[in-house]
A and B are shown apart, each in its own frame.
Chain A
Amino acid sequence: MRIYGHKLPAMSSLLLWALLWEIIGQTGATFFVPPLSEVFVTLFKIIGTPAFVTALTETAQAFLAGVFFSIVIGIPTGILMGKSRLLDELLLPWVNIFVSAPLTALVPVLMVLFGFGLTSIIITTTLFGIWIIILNTRAGVRQINRSLVEMATSFGASPLDAFVKIYFWAALPEILGGVRIGVIRAVKGVIIGQLLISIVGFGALFELYASNFLMTHFWAVLIVLFALAFSISEFLAYLERKVAYYAAKR
């Protein structure tokens, strides 16, 4: 954006909001909003502590596992649904229900089924991330140029070849878009899991800080979480741009 001919750096709107936050915090209007500077001081204080490192590891573990399962199950399922009319008719209603369902309400059921441990948290994370990946992959596969598929068939491609060498790559721009949104939703999933199922990881920190009214700590952890989610999503957006050159020409 430009103001009076000066080019503003990317995300300069964040600076404006940070300033506003600091001012409101300094006035002491509400305990809920401590000054941003204090939040950052706290952030650097807690970031090396064993409690924080443990929480980060626990959250990262559950998050990565959940994202891993949503990708390795979601992409093939999406491709198969895009290819096969039958599978699509069978599975699409469920995918559409789950993509819009309030998954948080399902968490107690998962706890009954899978216990109070890591498994349930990973499944919650997967459930948050997987549906949009399936839907996007399916959409990507359905708009593949027919003649690419015919080309592969005419040169004797096996179904597996076609799957790996044509469908996956041709749908890649949509797949990456789906993974990016899925990963963001998985961040929500892992925190909700850690709050509701077993109080571990960042969920435990949120619980601890909020119930003790440690608002600077609360915001510090939230900022760390936001920064992590933002970097992952930006990295995926970067990959998406790298394949965008052929998105229009398939």
Chain B
Amino acid sequence: MSQTRQAFDDAQPSDQDIAVSVRGVSKNYGAVEALKNMSLEFPRGQLTSLLGPSGCGKTTLLKIIAGLLKPDSGEIIVNGKAVSGPGPNRAFVFQDFALLPWASVLRNVAFGLELRGVPRSEREAKAEKYIRDVGLAGFERAFPHELSGGMRQRVGLARALSVDSKVLLLDEPFSAVDEQTRRKFQEDLLALVENENKTFIFVTHSIEEAVYVSDQIAILLPRPSRVSEIIRPTSFRTKGVGNIRRDPEYLDIVDEIWASLRNYVE
């Protein structure tokens, strides 16, 4: 079965099915060029990481894709259509979780649906399903301040999943949780990419994390911001989550990325 699938994947090169594409996007903050004529494509159903030193514009790019920032020029194409603002086809997961502190976990998870006008019973049923899926069953009535950082990010993730967008945008989602929780999150993320058939765009500053979770890694370099390289790991993705970190290819890619980034780190 998995072999058939492998063959199927090979027969359909991923670059033919692009979920999101960034075309010639530039963005200036006053005199500072945050992004300059950047183009990048994100294959459907895969996880692409944006990786780079701080100041390379990776979060700016993600927010432009989300429609939270307007590019000065260029366009964002999602599923074949240019987008100019936030839309139901994309959902965002925030670095600092961005939960409503006055609302229960249930309302927080259902909040995306609430804003889209879904009736209460329907959105709560849906939210309950995703609360279970992210492993927070039993915490529906809890408030964010009663949860640990990791659990809060699970709420943020459940909220993004429950609106059922085809594209998930994650802005350094695990950087505010502790190391052990982060590892668990990374494993869960791999399972999510496997099962959910969504396109993930993942901003991170951790090289290991990017190589561990990504189907495709875009290395961004600053001054001027540009995509310097796109890396597609090939061999270790199918070997099981436990074996990735000691796979030779994994280690090589981590070293290679560090070699190209180290000159840009102050």
Residues of A within 8 A of B (CB): 145, 147-148, 150-157, 161, 165-166, 169, 172, 243, 245-246, 249-250
Contacts and interface: CB of A to CB of B under 8 A. Distances in A.
B102 A154 contact: no
A246 B103 CA distance: 10
Nearest to A173: B102
A156 B145 contact: no
Contact of A150 (B88, B91, B98, B115): B98
A152 B115 contact: yes
A249 B96 CA distance: 11
Given A154-B90, A155-B86, A156-B86, 19 more contacts: A147-B98, A150-B63, A150-B68, A150-B92, A150-B94, A151-B94, A154-B67, A154-B86, A154-B91, A155-B91, A155-B111, A155-B112, A156-B115, A156-B116, A157-B115, A243-B102, A245-B143, A246-B143, A249-B144
For the complex of A and B, list the 9 residue pairs with the smallest distance between their C-beta atoms, beginning with the closest. Answer: A246-B101, A151-B98, A155-B112, A147-B98, A154-B92, A155-B115, A154-B86, A157-B115, A147-B94
A155 B96 contact: no
A250 to B, nearest CB: 6
Interface size class of B (residues with CB under 8 A): 20 to 34
Contacts of A246: 101-102, 143, 145
A152 B63 CA distance: 14
Interface of B is mostly: loop
A246 B116 CA distance: 26
B100 interface: yes
Nearest to B95: A147
B66 interface: yes
A107 B231 CA distance: 74
Given A156-B86, A156-B115, A250 B92 contact: no
A250 B101 contact: yes
Nearest to A148: B98
A169 B107 CA distance: 14
Given A154-B92, A249-B145, A148 B86 contact: no
Interface in B59-118: 63, 66-68, 86-88, 90-92, 94-96, 98, 100-102, 111-112, 114-116
Contacts of B92: 150-151, 154-155
B127 interface: no
A98 to B, nearest CB: 31
A243 B143 CA distance: 12
B102 A148 contact: no
